[in-house]
Amino acid sequence: MKILQLVTSRKYRGAEISAAQLSAKLVENGHELYFYGLFPSGEEIPLSVQGAENGCFNGHKEKAISLSLLKDLRKLVLRIEPEIIQANGSDTLKYAFAATWGLKKPRLIYRNISQMSYWLGKRPILQRIYNRTFYSFSALVSVGEKSQRDLMQLFPVHSQKCKVIKRGIDLNASVFQKGREEVLKELNLSPNIFVLVQVGSLTPEKNISFSIELLETLVTKDPNFHLLIIGSGPEEKQLKTQVKNSELETHISFLGFRKDIDKFLMASDLLLLTSLVEGIPGVVLESGGQGSPAICVDVGGVSEVVIHDQTGILIQGHSVQQFSNAILDLKGNAKKLNQLGKAARSFVEVEHDLDLQSRKFEKLYQSVLNES
């Protein structure tokens, strides 16, 4: 099959990495892949798929559609004549729809990566636009059951098109030459420190300000905590100000955007996730793949990738006290922490095997191509 995978940009972020790993597996399985970002990644070496044609458009993220980007995307579609276009995320949804208007093929697949109701809010006009757009799509594929139910409640007329295919994780993607102690030495941290790590864009929905409040509470009870914050975004300045005002500079490190995230997941004791909204957080799976469990607020589809007290810890609501108590308990129970990490790794191996999930996508692609 000839497949065009569209991502917002070729940045090293959850949805984009997931699409890239899927694309790489599809190339391995003998398909012809095109991996394109709508907007420039801004990176010197953007995310790429070996064996695929990689590219991006010189578009600008706007509220309305960029006509120049749309024109370039349509040119690409007419040039390569893909059988399948998979739109990963809502930006790619509208461009895939508009660029293929009037064409008999390709077939369009939408990859729903989050809780759409959160992003749509109370905007009935936008909801009607999405509803109309989905008539042109052959399948609406969610990352998890909760994301699927959310989509079906919003757009019941399209329920028959809704499917779930889990995110696949390539457990062989990262092989580290360094161990935990060497990574901590690189960060100038003591091997005895309890390391929390949080990964994500520095945006309001990731709720990293809550994590800073949490650290402030933790270090008053035990000073041997350190939080690594990996990511960049519009809230970076105010978050750093919050850290300074809380006198936590020696307990929190901002590592910025990193391509070697798995190295820090491996070296950390616990992944922290405090988001306001999530679909299926890929970083929880990546962390589990490194044998590091997660402590997460139970929001969106998080409970589909964290089994409470078996593969990680789920907290009901954004309670600093509940989070701090659970983290302190784990810090004092190395045996349980180790058991959670091993179980998290096993869960990822069984439930999120990349080869299995890519085969499910292949089967879906073939089924929509076989439709009359």
pLDDT at 293: 97
3-state class of 299 per DSSP?
A: coil
pLDDT at 361: 98
pTM: 0.87
Measured between alpha carbons, how far is 150 from 145 in angstroms, rounded to an integer? 9
Measured between alpha carbons, how far is 149 from 152 in angstroms, rounded to an integer? 5
Q: Which of 61, 46, 50 lies closest to 16, judged by CA?
A: 46
User: 65-89, pLDDT tens digit by residue?
Assistant: 889 999 999 999 999 999 999 999 8
pLDDT at 8 over 60: yes
The fraction of the chain above a pLDDT of 90, given in percent, is: 80
State the average pLDDT over residues 187-209: 94
Q: Which of 247, 172, 234 lies closest to 208, judged by CA?
A: 234
Q: Tokens in use for 43?
A: 């990176």
pLDDT at 11: 87
Residue 343: φ, ψ to 5°? -65, -35
Structural domains in the chain? Answer: 2-168+353-369 (3.40.50.2000), 180-351 (3.40.50.2000)
For 161-229, the DSSP string reads GEEE-PPPB-TTS---SS-HHHHHHHTT--TTSEEEEEES-SSGGG-HHHHHHHHHHHHHH-S-EEEEE
Count CB-CB contacts under 10 A for residue 64.
Answer: 6
pLDDT at 159: 96
- pLDDT bin (cut points 50, 70, 90) of residue 43 is confident
User: 116-171, pLDDT tens digit by residue?
Assistant: 888 787 788 889 999 999 999 999 999 999 999 999 999 999 999 999 999 999 88
Burial class (CB within 10 angstroms; exposed 0-12, middle 13-18, buried 19+) of 188: exposed
Name which residue leads in pLDDT, 172 or 274.
274
State the average pLDDT over residues 221-226: 96
- pLDDT bin (cut points 50, 70, 90) of residue 299 is very high
Measured between alpha carbons, how far is 171 from 186 in angstroms, rounded to an integer? 24
- pLDDT bin (cut points 50, 70, 90) of residue 174 is low
Q: Tokens in use for 362?
A: 């292949």
